[in-house]
Amino acid sequence: MSTLIRVRDGVAHVSSGVAAAEDPSFLTAVVEGAGALLHWDATAGAQRPDADIHDIDAAAGWLADVYGPAVAAAARTGAEAVVEIAAPETGIVEAVLRLGHLTWARAWWPASARIAALDPALLAAEIALTSHAVSHLLDDEEAVEHALRDAVDAASALAALPLPLAADGAAVSTALAELAEDHGVALRPVTTAQEAMIAREEWALAAGGTGPSAAGIELASGTAPVRWADVPAQSIDAEGEARWSLRQHDGRTTLHVEVPAVDAEGAATTLEARFGPSDSAVDLALERAGAGFTGEAGVPASVAFLPPGARTLWVHDPVLAPSPGAPESAEARERVIRFAADRLKSPSASLAERSAGASR
């Protein structure tokens, strides 16, 4: 296999021609390496990442591990070239790809009625161990410590794995405990079944309720897709749509919005929605209630007379998406959903994915 090295504006782009930098963010796995950004199509089964090298001196310590000495030497010249990849450290490459996949899953896993949600504690445990395996090439010198702090609650999730995965869970738990001790990070002990049930009930109460009633006469209604980039992962049903309706009751016009949600640990409990054109938009808060996010607000009667093209709905988390973005490709989203469905059935999938697959 050959690698193309292109140099533009002081950045060396190392590519096998598989990944595409223009891919939507939810298609791209990313690892922030020292002096470079490693990236590839998360759904394409990449054998090696592409890299955008902005600091060759910082990247020099690991380039040969991923691409071999010939590519590392060619990249240092700052000239464009086509170089054959020698035999680099296969284990390092696999660990880089695994870390990128795990962090991609944490950010973009398309949980839905069809695709089981991933346990964030299991993901955090695997991310911590994999970060340690490639810590020498990561940009963040404290990446392992940060990942371990994200995994402080992993012991309970690992102990609760179904019997077919118990041995793998025990191995991960032991390795995680040893790594945490080495880095001075205290992991929380395994909670009892009763404690876990109480925590689950508390989350359910936070996400519970029946939502606003939808009384009155429906004047208009419609649906709108929700951009994955605009909401936290594993909060809404990735295959669902937001629905809005305008209703009249007791002389009052009300906008009602609902979005199907998924049952996932740590999922968001609030979102926001904006309806109508920017110069007269109606903003309302959405709260998790039962199987979805719902909200309603009183609106001027004139809202019911907006032309169809102005009846737009934007559902978002204001921190993730302070302004609307371009529509996401339905084809690209379907690719991700098919990929996730296959991962749930794959024996080589992550522990979090295999656990989710076993739950269905």
Full pLDDT tens readout for the chain, 360 residues: 667 778 777 788 888 764 445 566 999 999 999 999 999 999 998 988 999 999 999 999 999 999 888 888 888 888 888 887 766 567 999 999 999 999 999 999 999 999 999 999 999 999 999 999 999 999 999 999 999 999 999 999 999 999 999 999 999 999 999 999 999 999 999 986 555 555 555 545 555 555 555 567 899 999 999 999 999 999 999 999 999 999 998 889 999 999 999 998 888 999 999 999 988 899 999 999 989 999 999 999 999 999 999 999 999 999 999 999 999 999 999 999 999 999 999 999 999 999 999 987
For the whole model, what pTM was predicted?
0.89
Query: Is the same domain home to 308 and 350?
Result: no
Is 346 within the bounds of a domain? yes
Q: How many domains does the chain have?
A: 3
> Tokens 């007379």 label which residue?
305
E strands, 79-230, are 81-84, 217-224
Residue type, 203: W
Is 175 within the bounds of a domain? yes
Q: State the DSSP code for 246.
A: E
Three-class SS of 8-35: ECCEEEEECCCCCCCCCHHHEEEEEECC
What is the model's pLDDT at position 203?
Answer: 45
Is 197 within the bounds of a domain? no
Q: State the DSSP code for 329.
A: P
Query: Is the same domain home to 283 and 353?
Result: no
Backbone Cα Rg of the chain: 23
Query: Is the same domain home to 249 and 294?
Result: yes
Burial of 117 (0-12, 13-18, 19+ CB in 10 A): buried
Query: Is the same domain home to 221 and 157?
Result: no
Domain carrying residue 108: 104-191+330-360
Query: Is the same domain home to 221 and 309?
Result: yes
What is the model's pLDDT at position 223?
Answer: 97
Is 177 within the bounds of a domain? yes
Contact by Cβ (8 Å): 145, 179: no
Question: How far is CA 59 from each of CA 26, 159, 162, 355, rounded to the nearest angstrom?
Answer: 26, 38, 41, 36
Is 200 within the bounds of a domain? no
What is the model's pLDDT at position 7?
Answer: 76
Query: Is the same domain home to 12 and 83?
Result: yes
Query: Is the same domain home to 240 and 306?
Result: yes
Query: Is the same domain home to 259 and 295?
Result: yes
> What 3-state class would DSSP assign to 360?
coil
Query: Is the same domain home to 301 and 233?
Result: yes
Is 204 within the bounds of a domain? no
Is 210 within the bounds of a domain? no
What is the model's pLDDT at position 210?
Answer: 54
Query: Is the same domain home to 46 and 23?
Result: yes
Helix axes of 120-133 and 351-358: crossing angle, nearest 10 degrees: 160
CA dist., res. 142 & res. 138, Å (int) = 9
Query: Is the same domain home to 113 and 154?
Result: yes
Contact by Cβ (8 Å): 261, 270: no
